[in-house]
Structure 1
Amino acid sequence: MTQPCTHLLLFGATGDLSKRMLLPSLFGLDADGLLPDSLRIIATARSVHDTAEFRALAAAALDATVDADRRHPDQVARFLDRITYVPLDASKAEGFAALAQEIGDTAHVAIFLSTAPSLFGPTIAGLSGAGLAGPGVRLALEKPLGSDLASSRQINDAVAAAYPEDRTFRIDHYLGKETVQNLIALRFGNTLFEPLWNAGGIDHVQISIAETVGLESRADYYDGMGALRDMVQNHMLQLLALVAMEPPARFDPTSVRDEKVKVLRSLRPIDRATVESHSVRGQYVAGAVDGQPVRGYAEELGRSSGTETFVALKAHVDNWRWQGVPFYLRTGKRLPERTSEIIIQFKPVPHSMFGDAPLKPNMLIIGLQPDENIGLTMMAKAPGLDRDGLKLRSVPLDIGINNAFADVRRRIAYERLLLDLIEGKQTLFVRRDEVEAQWTWIDAIRAGWAAQGMAPAPYAAGNWGPNGAIRLTERDGVSWHD
């Protein structure tokens, strides 16, 4: 059994991710008695603070993110007592000795690396040189892990030189969401769906991740990446893999990730020949979101740009289970509402005994955000005496996760991922071959865009992307689930 770590080394500890997610998640785990009693948290960043100053910063972060009824003073004090702060310029190797000295001779360390990709190499070299890459040390990496297959391999090679795959934890925070894990439970914990979960029972699948926000504070990063690499390469392809994978033999890291990578390697390439018919690029211009006027992408950025803020794709998984079933993917910024959902559209009944009464195929709706829920549309008889024949209506059967599990606190995705890192459980982390299969597919799309000169089409902020996204599905007689 993997040994829980005694020290958690948190890089980028003064950054936005740490304040909004990591520190509140660790506090939640501590308050519920889930952290090892002996666990110490060593926080580090370039900012010059002493431990007392950083603890004050951490307390302010908890005040801003954790409900007041959960911030019991004794629990906050106990959590802050776990934390020590060591300032470090990760680009300078000599600073890592202070980290090693603070940690001491322990053999069980978990390192959470949330830094700019340009610092991955120097940081790993510094950790290794300071003796923080031994057999009991595991490393977690926050995205982005490269900007294409070549750069991803470069990062992974640098990591592998110090940390073998069984001690490397690549984070995709969507895998920590309850409803994403519920997708696995829904498929493989019930007999209802799996017999229909194939080309014989499913007409198509839709995966949408929509944001209402624009650039916020991510202008430089986002303009260098765009929607395809920022959202599709990681979150959306991981969701697709979970929907499409074969049943794993066990719920363990090897079994689950083996099945996911098979799906990713089975994705039909979208290349120069098909990129115009199977993909849509967009960039928002001025419009209105939630009734408020917003500027266009170029105005927010302060210059013109060819980066896409919206992408829609028609994907196929070329294997026995999914032959002929399209997977429609859609993501973008400045869309009408913030939502993430997976739609499983089942095929219609082969024959209707109800004459002209319209029958709508069943649809499974898995909501990831803002609300986590599972819904299933079913045909039912409308009340009445039916003198002119039965009248049917599509009705929803909704399972609101918050209602079904009202006695259980809803957790931040990072709580699960941090606890799994501390305990050494890799199932919900991404393996290297998954990442490289994802980049292989994404690089072909980008090469196709370049070869065909496909510039982003404009769409007004507050709309569901350019008109091409509608045509992408309507050519197949399908409508997006808005």
Structure 2
Amino acid sequence: MSELEDSAKAHPTIFFIFGGTGDLTSRKLIPALFNLFLDGWMPEHMAIVAMGRTNFTDEKFREELLKDINQFSRRGKADQAQWDKFSKHVYFQVSDINQSSTYVEQAERIQKFTAEAGTAPNVIYYLAVAPRFFGAITENLAKHKLAIDAERTRIVIEKPFGHDLQSAKELNKQLCSIFSERQIYRIDHYLGKETVQNILAFRFANSIFEPVWNRNNIEHIQISVTEQLGMGNRGGYYDEAGAMRDMIQNHILQLLCLIAMEPPVSFKADEVRNRKVDVLNSIRKFTPEDIKKNTVRGQYSKGWIEGKEVPGYREENGVNPESNTETFAAIKFFVDNWRWHGVPFYLRTGKRMHQSSSVITIQFKDVPHLIFPSEAVESWQQNRLIISIQPEMSVRLQVQAKRPGLEMTLNPVDMLFDYNGTYTGDTPEAYETLLLDTMIGDQTLFMRGDQVEAAWELLMPILNTWAGKKSLSFPNYSADSWGPETAEALIAQDGFHWFTLPLKNTKK
């Protein structure tokens, strides 16, 4: 047994999931915990207590969860014997977050569990609820002395963490008045993805990359996260958020930090997170003129996706027919430090795009002197390192090579690391990684309070400018396109273009 597995299994753990009947619990949390159980990562003494207002018995709730497991687990339909072993640890507590009786019952469950396990357990409160409920839950946990054990008690907060800088500061202040920072796990599922974690491995476990990872060798960097999906049933939420809050403030800035951060002294959580905060503090702040030149916003109109007609954003359920909310955002950032001075970072994200993908492209500078004749390099392109996060998980280095034949003809070829081709077996989903880290107390992949506030501080000038000035061009891109033409102009003015990665054997 590995040291990590031993530490995970060694200590009894009890999960309390607020929002136990919600989509996040049924689609992600319970399947993730079940898969951890199947892989031998869960402690012998464990309890998972889902909390909600529905009048479920334990047996009825387990029946409903089995349906969810069969539908959403990466392993497919559950083996009944394995499910029976796991589900006996799952309970449902009929509860109201505003009632003291809810927290009294929690205390009684912890007391009973402690007696059965013979030691004080790790207690994890997972807030799988809307942000407006965070305050009531945390205040009641404090009132009933359910958060006083700083060594064993942890709280997990889902995004969005605040709606703007002020609300993020207020939420941090409230949480830190009850919990210490080491107890707070601000979760961003993107950081649990295998390819995202591999960014650190590729950068800092291989001597060939880090020496060229700087302004002397890299021309520019692109981070592109695009979605074919529209609003579904999230129109009401999204119309208050928009692409900037929904994707850039958390997911995409996290990716930028991993690409741009300095080498940490060690892999300890705070050392890694310190380097991420350094990146955010180094990004050039926006002036009003910068916002005009270096940002683009867009909103999609109706169109056709895979042969089906889809509505425009303003026709989606829950969306204001005159909405000024952006469904597309593109930004050019500069990281003002010695490593990255002058290197542009281009970020873009959008809904109803031509392709669903998350891709990071690092383009290296051209060779200083081209020795080959023009007829030999008709398809010449600069070296690129392409990190594909989803749906294809791969890292490819594009280089020039000689084409077979008697003539000296060069063309680009890929040196490819493909997860599916390299490893056998299912890849753990992001929530499996993050829930395991929560159990063992590893905060490396979780955002710290100052990091959240630094991200909001960076984006607030843009958000305030966009909110204060209604776009007269919306909608300005059609469904199944690559976004508004102004996004192409944003990068073209520097002599570059947006890269797209052909995805093979994957669904859009």
Instruction: Indicate if the aligned counterparts of 2:301 and 2:475 stay in contact, CA closer than 8 A.
Output: no
Distance 2:53 2:389 in 1: 35
Deviates more, 1:69-78 or 1:49-58: 69-78
**Equivalent-residue separation in structure 2 for 1:143 and 1:45 (angstroms):** 20
Task: State the shift of 1:444 in Å.
Answer: 1.5
TM-score normalized with structure 1 length: 0.96
2:97·2:136 contact (CA, 8 Å) conserved in 1? yes
Q: Residue 440 in 1 paired to residue 457 in 2?
A: yes
CA 1:311/1:67 → structure 2, altered by over 3 Å: closer, same or farther? closer
- Residue 30 (structure 2) pairs with residue 23 (structure 1): yes
Deviation digits for residues 151-192 of structure 1 (CA, Å, limit 9, x no counterpart): 011111111111100111110111100000101000001011
Stretches of 4+ aligned residues off by more than 6 angstroms: none
- Are 2:11 and 2:122, in contact at CA under 8 Å, matched by a contact in 1? yes
Amino acid at match of 2:494: D
Deviation at 1:94, TM superposition (A): 3.8
Q: How many equivalent pairs are there?
A: 478
**Equivalent residues of 1:272, 1:452 under 8 A apart:** no
Deviation at 1:464, TM superposition (A): 0.8
Q: Is the 2:71–2:77 Cα contact (8 Å) retained in structure 1?
A: no
In the alignment, the residues of structure 2 paired with residue 9 and residue 439 of structure 1 have an alpha-carbon distance, to the nearest angstrom, of 29
Query: Secondary structure in 2 aligned to 1:204?
Result: strand
Aligned residues with identical type, % of pairs: 41
Is structure 2 residue 128 aligned with structure 1 residue 114? yes
SS, match of residue 216 in structure 2: coil
- What's the counterpart of residue 105 of structure 2? 98
C-alpha spacing 1:217/1:475, structure 2 compared with 1 (3 Å)? same
1:376 and 2:397 are equivalent in the alignment: yes
1:128 aligns with 2:142: yes
Question: 1:447: how far off?
Answer: 2.2
User: What is the CA–CA distance in structure 1 between the aligned matches of 2:90 and 2:265, rounded to whole Å?
Assistant: 40
User: After the TM superposition, which of the residue ranges 65-74 and 129-138 deviates more from structure 2?
Assistant: 65-74
SS at match of 1:86: strand
Report the CA distance between 1:270 and its aligned residue.
2.4
CA–CA distance in structure 2, aligned partners of residues 200 and 5 of structure 1: 51
CA distance in 2, matches of 1:213, 1:381: 41
- Which residue of structure 2 aligns with residue 35 of structure 1? 42
Equivalent of 2:260 in 226, 239, 244: 244
3-state secondary structure, aligned to 1:273: helix
Matched, 1:420 2:437: yes
Give 1:273's aligned residue. Answer: 289
Distance 1:452 1:477 in 2: 29
2:92 aligns with one of 85, 105, 109: 85
Q: Which residue of 1 aligns with 2:348?
A: 330
Alignment partner of 1:74 is 2:70: no
SS at match of 2:355: coil
Equivalent residue for 2:58, pick from 51, 56, 60? 51
**Residue of structure 2 aligned with 1:365, choices 386, 405, 416:** 386
Conserved in 1, the CA contact under 8 Å of 2:69 and 2:76? Answer: no
Matches within 5 A, 1:272-421: 272-301=288-317, 303-356=321-374, 357-358=376-377, 359-386=380-407, 390-406=408-424, 408-421=425-438
Please, what TM-score do these two structures have when normalized by structure 2?
A: 0.91
- Deviation for aligned residue 1:441: 0.7
Contact 1:316 1:323 in 2 (8 A): yes
SS at match of 2:220: strand
Aligned-partner Cα distance in 2 for 1:452–1:8: 45
- What residue identity is the alignment partner of 2:195? T
**Following the alignment from structure 1 to structure 2, what is the Cα–Cα distance between the partners of residues 62 and 453?**
44
Segment drifting more, 287-296 vs 62-71: 62-71
Where does structure 2 lack aligned partners over 5 or more consecutive residues?
1-6, 115-119, 501-508
Distance in 1 between residues matched to 2:325 and 2:467, nearest whole Å: 12
Partner of 2:184: 168
Deviations 1:47-91 (A, max 9, x none): 221211111111111011136666221111111111111022213
184, 188, 212: which one pairs with 2:204?
Answer: 188
Q: How far apart are the structure 2 equivalents of 1:190 and 1:70?
A: 39
Deviates more, 1:357-366 or 1:199-208: 357-366
Aligned CA RMSD, in angstroms, stands at: 1.6
